[in-house]
Amino acid sequence: MIKPHGASALKPLVVADPEQNRQLQAEAETLPSLLLNSAAAANAVMLGAGYFTPLEGFMNIADTMSVASGMRTTNGLFWPVPILNLTDDIGRIEGAGRIALRDPHTDGNPVLAVMNVASIEAFNSDQIATIIKQVYGTSDAAHPGVAVFRNLGRYCIAGDIEVLNFSYFRDEFSDTFRTAVEIREEIESRGWSKVVAFQTRNPMHLAHEELCRMAQERIGADGIVIHMLLGKLKKGDIPASVRNECIRKMVEVYFPENTVMVNGYGFDMLYAGPREAVLHAVFRQNMGATHLIVGRDHAGVGDFYGAFDAQDIFEHLPDDALEIEIFPADHTAWSRKLNRVVMMREVEDHTPDDYIILSGTRLREMLSQGVAPPPEFSRPEVARILMEHYRL
């Protein structure tokens, strides 16, 4: 099986032993506490689940600036996006060596993790501007990731953490949320060697389904891991529970048994385009995938990135950066000429009128009116689930 990134074995930071977890929980109640923002809580969940192996906690300013500018920590580890715990209020934790990190998403704000505070530093405005420009490729406040980052706070709390739980993900998505450790174990139990991962924050339409098949066939993969984001998205995106139902129905009806795993991870979407695509590759390697499908405008939003910027960045990574490989995909759509789903760059004799493509706006209009999308666009079982959601 493919090795984890930067380590010989996964390093999940969750305290799995029940007695140790109970003792840490009791200690946490005596410690100064910090209420995390959503981004930091998502980072803690990913660290706990082993997806961010080999990191042992939150980065300091030196590592953050090094990662932002050159995609390496100060000790040389390849890493594409800073993993931060930011706040604007350090009043309750200033001077503390050990603190409790509280969950912003769960009633009562229970302790999510305990942190050994290595440093509390303040970013200056130039450093914030540099991080935003390097990671997101734009400083435009209209970019949803930039807008979120600007409001996370200027104080950087760095240090190792011990994670107590996985926030709401385990309870709300018990059939889907899996740690990197659990996915690796299932891949091994299925006897898969070559594994292709598909990242999604949307329900999967027919073109996505066929893209997974194309990748599996061309790579010669034993199986596919459809790995959906379960955390926060931007306003207007379809809720994770609906996406989960759609994807599971599609797999149940249209894929052979023991060829697809449907899993999810607890993270907030950054919409950081190329840099986020590389982060997606890092934690898919950690979960055991040998290949990641990187499609058109992967992890992008609006018109902030070129259609294939998220593929091009992999051409410029150092040779020792990652072991996982990407499957570069073009936009897929139904061809009226060929009567099947195709990758557009592979059918040069086509004109725009030869494809069936629905804009997101038009699709939402149809669903909200109870009109099923054409079968060349969406499986009827998936369309019914979406129409029910939009009627509510």
Does 202 participate in catalysis according to the annotation? Answer: yes
- Exactly one of 116, 190, 202, 213 is catalytic; which is it? 202
Radius of gyration of the chain (CA): 21
**Pair 7, 285: CB distance under 8 Å:** no
Nearest to 156 by CA among 193, 195, 123: 123
Q: Which stretches does DSSP call E strand in the chain?
A: 33-35, 57-58, 86-87, 98-102, 111-116, 119-122, 155-163, 195-200, 223-229, 260-265, 291-294, 325-328, 332-335, 340-343, 355-356
Identify any residues that bridge with 342 across adjacent strands, giving them in sequence order.
333
- Exactly one of 170, 190, 201, 248 is catalytic; which is it? 201
φ/ψ region of 195 (left if φ > 0, alpha if ψ in -120 to 50, else beta) reads beta
Report the alpha-carbon distance of residue 81 to residue 71 in Å, rounded.
7
Does 296 participate in catalysis according to the annotation? Answer: no
Residues 6 or more apart whose Cβ sits within 8 Å of residue 314: 277, 278, 281, 294, 326
| Backbone φ, ψ for residue 202 (5° rounding) | -130, 165
Sheet strands side by side (includes 340-343): 340-343, 332-335, 355-356
Token pair 């379809």 is found at: 238
- In the structure, how many helices (H) and strands (E) does the chain have? 13, 15
Residues 6 or more apart whose Cβ sits within 8 Å of residue 36: 44, 85, 101, 102, 103, 104, 112
Angle at CA of residue 329, ends 325 and 334, nearest 5°: 150
φ/ψ region of 96 (left if φ > 0, alpha if ψ in -120 to 50, else beta) reads beta
Provide the 10 A C-beta neighbour count for residue 148: 18
Q: What are the catalytic residues?
A: 201-202
